[in-house]
């Protein structure tokens, strides 16, 4: 079974748009879990544009594992070590970007990342690195001692030619390096089936489409349908 992590950031985007307390991302997370989500993902951004600090312990208290998406900054490492979520996914973060536009350049930032990964691992947190499907990035992730990589599927989702082949090749490299394979970004009902067939895939993290679809079908049915699509033969 491929696990489905539901990213609830954009429930918080909607909440913050009006400055009220609703919709509560924690209520959305509870619903997603009831309808089959295997985990909840939340990105505490430096600018707190969606998820806020006070959301994190409430998400951690739920029954499904929490995947804390974060930039590799001293502030976020400190927050994560206090919170001790099940997992931390290190992502690149630029204030001006609309979303996480590309993978983390782990090969170019080894010295900065090594002590942060070690600190998170010492706190008992499973560390995952959000990277592009690139051999050098995957091999560096293994060298840095991260047990998991999440491959960025954004270019594939935007229809860039050759990306599915690139992801397949990368999945082989991930297996050769002995790492656990996750993937995510820009996935929808239509484009997820080929990604769910990547050899060795353990987990998908999906957010924006599911929250958008919730407007039409409700979040529970959207999660259930996605869970079915990623696991159907
Ligand atoms: N995985 C990671 C590491 C991400 O940064 C994001 C986007 O925040 C996602 C998965 C989910 O992407 P989307 O919201 O496009 O489904």
Tell me: the pLDDT tens digits for 153-188?
999 999 999 999 999 999 999 999 999 999 999 999
Q: Mean pLDDT for the chain?
A: 96
For residue 115 the two structure tokens come to 């002590």
Do 173 and 143 form a contact (C-beta atoms < 8 A)?
no
Of 185, 187, 190, the one to substitute when testing ligand 1's pocket (max ligand atoms within 8 A of C-beta) is: 185
Instruction: Tell me which of 93, 182, 185, 213 is the catalytic residue.
Output: 185
Measured in degrees and rounded to the nearest 5, phi and psi for residue 205 equal -115, 120
Going by C-alpha positions, the residue among 192, 8, 127, 169 that lies closest to residue 183 is: 192
Instruction: Tell me which of 43, 152, 182, 203 is the catalytic residue.
Output: 43
State mean pLDDT over 50-78.
Answer: 97
Cα→Cα distances 79→120, 139, 169, 233, Å: 10, 28, 35, 40
Task: Confirm whether residue 10 is marked as ligand binding.
Answer: yes
Element (H, E) at 32: helix 25-34
Cα→Cα distances 81→68, 114, 116, 131, Å: 11, 16, 10, 22
Check if 7 has its Cβ closer than 6 Å to any atom of ligand 1.
yes
**How many angstroms separate the alpha carbon of residue 208 from the centre of ligand 1?**
7
Tell me how far apart the alpha carbons of residues 119 and 116 are, in angstroms, rounded to a whole number. 5
- For 95-151, the pLDDT digits (tens) are 667 667 789 999 999 999 999 999 999 999 999 999 999 999 999 999 999 999 999
According to DSSP, the residues that pair with 39 across neighbouring strands are 5
Tell me if residue 168 is catalytic.
no
Beta strands of the chain (E only): which ranges?
3-7, 39-43, 66-70, 87-90, 126-131, 148-152, 180-184, 201-206
Structure-token match 């959207």, residue found: 222
For residue 152 the two structure tokens come to 């960025």
Tell me if residue 185 is catalytic.
yes
- Mind listing the domains of the chain with CATH numbers? 3-231 (3.20.20.70)
For ligand 1, atom 4: residue with the closest CA: 185
Element (H, E) at 210: helix 208-217
**How many angstroms separate the alpha carbon of residue 184 from the centre of ligand 1?**
6
**How many angstroms separate the alpha carbon of residue 61 from the centre of ligand 1?**
22
Do 225 and 196 form a contact (C-beta atoms < 8 A)?
no
Q: Residue 89 CA: which ligand 1 atom is closest?
A: 3
Check if 209 has its Cβ closer than 6 Å to any atom of ligand 1.
yes
* Statement: the pTM of the whole predicted model exceeds 0.85: yes
Tell me if residue 109 is catalytic.
no
């Amino acid at each position: 079974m491929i696990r489905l992590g539901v990213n609830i950031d954009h429930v918080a985007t909607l909440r913050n748009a009006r400055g009220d307390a609703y919709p509560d991302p924690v209520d959305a997370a509870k619903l997603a879990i009831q309808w089959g989500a295997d985990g909840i993902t939340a990105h505490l951004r430096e600018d707190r544009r969606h998820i806020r600090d006070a959301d994190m312990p409430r998400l951690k208290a739920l029954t499904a594992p929490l995947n804390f998406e974060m930039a590799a900054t001293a502030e976020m490492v400190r927050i994560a070590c206090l919170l001790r979520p099940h997992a931390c996914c290190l992502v690149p973060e630029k204030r001006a970007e609309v979303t996480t536009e590309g993978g983390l350049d782990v090969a170019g930032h080894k010295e900065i990342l090594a002590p942060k990964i070690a600190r998170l691992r010492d706190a008992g947190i499973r560390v995952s690195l959000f990277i592009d499907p690139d051999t050098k990035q995957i091999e560096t992730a293994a060298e840095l001692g991260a047990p998991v990589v999440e491959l960025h599927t954004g270019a594939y989702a935007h229809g860039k030619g050759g990306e599915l082949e690139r992801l397949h090749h990368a999945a082989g490299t991930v297996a050769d390096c002995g790492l656990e394979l996750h993937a995510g970004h820009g996935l929808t009902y239509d484009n997820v089936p080929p990604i769910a067939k990547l050899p060795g895939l353990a987990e998908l993290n999906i957010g924006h489409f599911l929250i958008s679809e919730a407007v039409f079908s409700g979040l529970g049915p959207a999660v259930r349908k996605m869970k079915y699509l990623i696991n159907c033969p």
